[in-house]
Structure 1
C-alpha cells in the first residue's frame, strides 16, 4: 500500500512547557482527514533544501491530538539542528510539510508490571503510554531530563512510580539513566519493558534486558531515537547496520 502524500500543516501556536521542551501545535486545513487516535505515533517533518535536493526529514512523536490539532514536542539544545531551529523560530501561520503518521509503538499490556525508560526525546511517547495504562497497573518509569525544571506533570496510575534522573554530563547521554535502572528494585513477575533513548545507551540497555535482567522478548520494546554526535540521517544508517547485525545473531 502506498504511503499518503505529505500534508501541509499550519503552526497554531508555540510555547515552552519546560525550559528545554518546546511544544508546537499544528493544524489548519491540512489536518482534515488526519487519522484519529494517533497520540504516540511518529510523523516526519520535511524541510526543503533547495532546487533539485531532497528535503530533510526529521522524525517526531505526536504528543497530543485533538479534533483539528496535534502537538509536537521539541527538545531544545544549545546548538539546534534543522528541526529545533525551525521550532524555535516558528510563528502562527507558518506552514510545514508533514508525512505520516507511522505506527504507534505501545508497551505490551501483557506483563505483570510495567517498566518505561527513556530520555527527553522519548518523553512524549512515554507520556502517552502512561496515560493509556489501566488504573490498576503497577510499575516504574525512569526518565532522564536535562534539569530539575524539566520535570513534567504526567497522568499515570497510582501504582506507577516516576523516577526523574537529571543528566549532569551532556556528553554522556544515557549514563545516569542506565545507572538508575540498574540500581532500582526489581519487582516480582514478568515485566513489560518499553525503552527508547540514545543509540549507545540503547545497546547497553538491550544487553541488560537480554542478559542482566532477562526479559521475555515478546514483552520488550527497545529503540534508539538518536545518536550522540550524528544527524538523524547518519543515525538511521548506524541503526540499520545494528539491526541487521542483531538479526543474524
Structure 2
C-alpha cells in the first residue's frame, strides 16, 4: 500500500513524482534460471508472497538477501526487470561477474531454491513534457533500460547507449517505441572508463525536450552528466544520473551523482 507521495516541480520541465511504498519482505521460489547472455543470468521468481508486490517505475530497486562470500548474510540492490501480476512472476537479471555474492548466488541457483527480497521502498516516476528519451548505461543498468524501453507508450522516440563486454551481450527489447540502440564494447575491467560512451554521445543528436537517464559506474555516470551539462548545455532538470555501483567498493551506489563533489 502506498503511504506517501511528493512532487518535485521543475517549472516547464519534467516532473519527478516520488512515491513511498509499504516495506514488505517476501520469500520467493526460483522458478527458472536462464544464462541470458554470457554476462547476464535471468532468474524467474514466484510464489504466493508476491501478492501485493508493486513496482511502478522502471528504475525501482529491491533488496535481495543472499549469503556473503564468507557465508554471512548480505543484501544487494536489484532492479525488477519485469513483473507480471497475472502470472505471478518476477524476473531479475544478474550481471555474471566474479567476486560478487549476488552473482555467485545466481550462478548456483536452481529451480526450487528460495530468495528473500524486500521492497521496493519507493519509486521515482518521471513525467512531464518529454518528447524523447535518451537512456545511457552499462550492463548493470540493462534491466532498467530494457524495462523502460518496453514500458514507454507506443511510438515514443527512445535512444539507448549501453556499454557491455561484447556483441554477444547485446539485448533485444520487445517494444512498440521508435527505438534506436547504440552499443559500446569494452571489457568489464574498463567499466569505470567513460571514453567509449562519450565518443558515441558526442555524435548523437539530442533534440529539445529530451530526458536523459544515466545509470552506470559512479565515475562514468558523473562524467556523462558533466559532459551533458558543460558541452551540450542540457539543463540539469532534464538529466537523472545515478552511480549504480563504484569500482573497488562493495555494495556502493550513488543515487544522484549531481550531489557528488
TM-score by length of 2: 0.80
Residue 25 of structure 1 corresponds to: 44
Q: Distance in 2 between matches of 1:120 and 1:241?
A: 19
Question: How far 1:200 moved relative to its partner?
Answer: 0.7
Q: Distance in 1 between matches of 2:160 and 2:259?
A: 29
Residue 63 of structure 1 corresponds to: 81
Q: Per the alignment, do residues 192 and 164 of structure 1 end up closer, same or farther by CA in structure 2, a change over 3 Å counting? A: same
Q: Distance in 2 between matches of 1:144 and 1:4?
A: 33
* Superposition RMSD in Å: 2.7
Q: Distance in 1 between matches of 2:28 and 2:214?
A: 30
1:107 and 1:221 in contact (8 A); partners too: no
Equivalences for residues 17-96 of structure 1 within 5 A: 17-35=36-54, 37=56, 40-48=59-67, 55-67=73-85, 68-77=88-97, 79-96=98-115
Q: Per the alignment, do residues 73 and 189 of structure 1 end up closer, same or farther by CA in structure 2, a change over 3 Å counting? A: same
- Find 1:9's aligned residue among 20, 28, 51: 28
Q: Which structure carries more strand by proportion?
A: 2
Match of 1:170, SS state, is helix
Q: Which structure carries more helix by proportion?
A: 1
Q: Per the alignment, do residues 180 and 129 of structure 1 end up closer, same or farther by CA in structure 2, a change over 3 Å counting? A: same
What is the number of residues matched between the two proteins?
Answer: 238
Residue 186 of structure 1 corresponds to: 205
Residue 13 of structure 2 corresponds to: none
Equivalences for residues 139-158 of structure 1 within 5 A: 139-157=158-176
2:155 and 2:178 in contact (8 A); partners too: yes
Q: Per the alignment, do residues 154 and 38 of structure 1 end up closer, same or farther by CA in structure 2, a change over 3 Å counting? A: same
Q: CA-to-partner distance for each residue in 1:94-134, whole Å, 9 max, x for gaps?
A: 11221102334455452232211111110110111112223
Q: Per the alignment, do residues 105 and 157 of structure 1 end up closer, same or farther by CA in structure 2, a change over 3 Å counting? A: farther
Question: How far 1:55 moved relative to its partner?
Answer: 3.5
Match of 2:122, SS state, is coil
Question: How far 1:85 moved relative to its partner?
Answer: 0.3
Question: How far 1:138 moved relative to its partner?
Answer: 2.3
Q: Distance in 1 between matches of 2:238 and 2:185?
A: 27
Residue 7 of structure 2 corresponds to: none
Residue 151 of structure 2 corresponds to: 132
Q: Distance in 1 between matches of 2:49 and 2:259?
A: 37
Q: Distance in 2 between matches of 1:132 and 1:181?
A: 24
